[in-house]
């Protein structure tokens, strides 16, 4: 595979020090699944932390041995010679706490009961994630990241890093994100959550012991999610009003191509993703709002930041529209931060941040060239 980091192996870090969540809940011990690509340089100054979004995980680039199709979710961005150049950077992907891909989460065994946490797993916030990731950085001997980066919910973690640990981040790369969710964003999340919560197979979050999975709810949540990740135009271009069989069926089976696409995505997702993790991730999105304790004043919220920033948005992203990114940019500028901002013309809506896109990748490459110029490799 050209420009791939090649075969990768997931690793696991254990933390035996209790972690207190924003909610007050305490996790006495936890594990984080992570992967690394590239080599940490002598003075440990070339590390980049990649934070994932709602359904992502630590498998960001490369593939697993014997499974060439198991390509990481941001493989087009990260690798030798790619915008995040693993010949220069030491890149870390981490599965968030509460996740379902190896890090401690609702499906992990609660040592207190010997059963999966389920509903007992605490609601986790972006601040909690950053806290837990900082301990991973400690364990890896990284005092300061060259950059913390992510798209969507991952971009929120990059922002939070610059606020929770201003001295540990030289650059925050905030892509397709927002300073907080709008009422409409929360509304979509709440419909998705209710689909899961009211699925009879959810069993109040403790479905593990019942030998079932709330697939119906997860499927609906994912179908709905996909609508908000795409743009109206992208859907029109890709699917339009095309009929699968060429004629109307006058029934409730799949008729339009868009229905086929959505149901397929829903079924696929429901077959592997954990319902409790989905709930936790959407809550973390809803709660993220650094300006909350400053009466909504984002300028004040960002006063703690010390890093430089690259903020990127996409013209057809109606979930976290460019206006939302500009709110971030303005608040950073008011705090005299060095901010680069790119508004990328893309047809793919919110999902654009995951796509191979020439202009977008050129912007990322140019910015990270500058970041790499700041340390000796």
Task: Report the catalytic residues.
Answer: 152, 317, 350
Is 326 one of the binding residues for a second copy (CB under 8 A)? no
31, 259, 299, 343: residue in contact with a second copy (rule CB under 8 A): 259
Q: DSSP state, 309? A: E
9, 183, 336, 356: residue in contact with a second copy (rule CB under 8 A): 183
Please identify, using beta-carbon distances, which residue of 87 and 184 lies nearer to a second copy: 184
Site for a second copy in 204-243 (CB under 8 A): 216, 219-220, 223-224, 226-227, 230, 232, 235-236, 238-241
Please identify, using beta-carbon distances, which residue of 203 and 306 lies nearer to a second copy: 203
Q: Closest distance between a second copy and the C-beta of residue 351, in Å?
A: 14
Is 64 one of the binding residues for a second copy (CB under 8 A)? no
What is the rounded distance in angstroms from the CA atom of residue 284 to the CA atom of residue 121? 14
Please identify, using beta-carbon distances, which residue of 112 and 241 lies nearer to a second copy: 241
Is 128 one of the binding residues for a second copy (CB under 8 A)? no
Is 287 one of the binding residues for a second copy (CB under 8 A)? yes
The answer to whether residues 77 and 149 touch, using CB atoms and an 8 Å cutoff, is no
Part of the chain binding a second copy (CB under 8 A), chosen from 106-114, 175-183, 297-305, 333-341? 175-183
CA terminus-to-terminus distance, the chain: 25
31, 110, 206, 286: residue in contact with a second copy (rule CB under 8 A): 286
Please identify, using beta-carbon distances, which residue of 236 and 366 lies nearer to a second copy: 236
The answer to whether residues 333 and 369 touch, using CB atoms and an 8 Å cutoff, is no
Is 22 one of the binding residues for a second copy (CB under 8 A)? yes
Part of the chain binding a second copy (CB under 8 A), chosen from 71-79, 91-99, 130-138, 180-188? 180-188
Please identify, using beta-carbon distances, which residue of 101 and 219 lies nearer to a second copy: 219
Residue 351 — φ and ψ, nearest 5°?
-60, -15
Please identify, using beta-carbon distances, which residue of 113 and 233 lies nearer to a second copy: 233
The answer to whether residues 113 and 71 touch, using CB atoms and an 8 Å cutoff, is no
What is the rounded distance in angstroms from the CA atom of residue 148 to the CA atom of residue 310? 11
Of 43, 90, 88, 50, residue with least CA distance to 72:
50
Q: Closest distance between a second copy and the C-beta of residue 94, in Å?
A: 23
Beta bridge partners of 174: 150, 311
244, 283, 300, 361: residue in contact with a second copy (rule CB under 8 A): 283
- Please return the burial class of 314, using the count of CB atoms within 10 Å of its CB with bins 0-12, 13-18 and 19+: buried
Please identify, using beta-carbon distances, which residue of 165 and 188 lies nearer to a second copy: 188
Characterise 286 by phi-psi region: left (phi > 0), alpha (psi -120 to 50), beta (else): alpha
Q: Closest distance between a second copy and the C-beta of residue 204, in Å?
A: 10
For residue 177, CA distances in Å to 1, 103, 151, 310 come to: 31, 24, 6, 12
Is 304 one of the binding residues for a second copy (CB under 8 A)? no
The answer to whether residues 293 and 132 touch, using CB atoms and an 8 Å cutoff, is no
> Residue 48: helix, strand or coil by DSSP?
strand
- Please return the burial class of 347, using the count of CB atoms within 10 Å of its CB with bins 0-12, 13-18 and 19+: middle
What is the rounded distance in angstroms from the CA atom of residue 101 to the CA atom of residue 107? 10
Part of the chain binding a second copy (CB under 8 A), chosen from 282-290, 305-313, 325-333, 366-374? 282-290
Is 60 one of the binding residues for a second copy (CB under 8 A)? no
By the criterion CB under 8 A, which residues form the site for a second copy?
21-25, 122-123, 180-184, 186-188, 190-191, 193-195, 197-200, 216, 219-220, 223-224, 226-227, 230, 232, 235-236, 238-241, 248, 250-252, 255-259, 262-263, 266, 279, 283, 286-287, 289, 292
């Amino acid at each position: 595979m050209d420009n791939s980091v090649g075969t990768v192996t997931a690793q696991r870090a254990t933390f035996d020090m209790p972690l207190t969540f924003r909610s007050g809940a305490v996790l006495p011990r936890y594990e984080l699944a992570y992967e690394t690509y590239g080599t940490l340089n002598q003075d440990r100054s070339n590390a980049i932390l990649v934070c994932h979004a709602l359904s992502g995980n630590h498998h960001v680039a490369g593939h697993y041995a014997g499974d060439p199709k198991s390509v990481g979710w941001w493989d087009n961005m990260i690798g030798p010679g790619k915008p995040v150049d693993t010949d220069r950077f030491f890149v870390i992907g981490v599965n968030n706490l509460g996740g379902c891909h190896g890090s401690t989460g609702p499906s992990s065994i609660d040592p207190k009961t010997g059963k999966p946490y389920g509903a007992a797993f605490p609601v986790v916030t972006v601040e909690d994630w950053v806290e837990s990731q900082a301990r991973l950085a400690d364990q890896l001997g990284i005092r300061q990241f060259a950059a913390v980066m992510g798209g969507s919910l991952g971009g929120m973690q990059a922002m939070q890093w610059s606020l929770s640990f201003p001295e540990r981040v030289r650059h925050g790369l905030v892509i397709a994100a927002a300073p907080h969710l709008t009422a409409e964003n929360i509304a979509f999340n709440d419909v998705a959550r209710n689909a899961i919560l009211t699925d009879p197979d959810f069993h109040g979050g403790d479905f593990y012991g019942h030998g079932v999975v709330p697939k119906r709810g997860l499927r609906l949540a994912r179908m709905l999610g996909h609508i908000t990740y795409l743009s109206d135009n992208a859907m029109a271009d890709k699917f339009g009003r095309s009929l699968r069989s060429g004629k109307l069926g006058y029934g409730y089976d799949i008729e339009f191509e868009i229905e086929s696409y959505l149901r397929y995505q829903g079924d696929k997702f429901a077959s592997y993703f954990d319902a409790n993790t989905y709930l936790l991730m959407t809550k973390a999105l809803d709660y993220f709002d650094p300006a909350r304790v400053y009466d909504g004043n984002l300028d004040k919220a960002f006063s703690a930041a010390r890093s430089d920033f690259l903020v990127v948005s996409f013209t057809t992203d109606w979930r976290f529209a460019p206006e939302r990114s500009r709110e971030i940019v303005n608040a950073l500028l008011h705090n005299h931060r060095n901010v680069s901002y790119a508004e990328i013309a893309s047809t793919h809506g919110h999902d654009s941040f995951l796509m191979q896109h020439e202009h977008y990748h050129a912007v990322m490459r140019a910015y990270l060239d500058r970041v790499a110029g700041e340390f000796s490799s």
